[in-house]
Amino acid sequence: MKRLSTEQLLSINKFSVDDEAKHIILDRQICGRCESKPCRFACPAGLYSIKDGEISFDPVGCLECGTCRVVCSHPGAITWQYPRGGFGVIYRYG
């Protein structure tokens, strides 16, 4: 059986963004005091990055795994909840 790459595995999902109720909200002030920003390296979908010197999060592609919440050691930096019904990660071919 042929093994798929991480990129190929991620491509079989799609994510429906709920613009009215974001499932991950960052506190920019707290994140600004975080030096190592481990969320950038821990998110399996690579959704955290640095833009204009600040942490940036792109919800498209989120796997709802919760890893970013676990690795973040700054209380209150991440407000995390599962997306509402009908939103979030969906199997593309389901």
State the minimum distance, in angstroms, from the CB of residue 20 to ligand SF4.
19
Of 9, 21, 60, 65, the one binding ligand SF4 by CB under 6 A: 65
40: Cβ contacts below 8 Å, ≥ 6 apart: 48, 49, 50, 55
- Binders of ligand SF4: how many residues, by CB under 6 A? 24
Q: 10, 37, 56, 87: which one contacts ligand SF4 (CB under 6 A)?
A: 37
Q: Are 62 and 24 in contact (CB under 8 A)?
A: yes
Work out whether 83 is an interface residue with ligand SF4 (CB under 6 A): no
The residue whose two tokens read 């991480």 is: 6
Q: Which is nearer to ligand SF4, 3 or 33 (CB)?
A: 33
Sheet strands (E) in the chain: 13-16, 24-26, 48-51, 54-57, 78-80, 88-91
**Hey, which residues between 9 and 28 contact ligand SF4 (CB under 6 A)?**
24, 26
* 66 binding ligand SF4? (CB under 6 A): yes
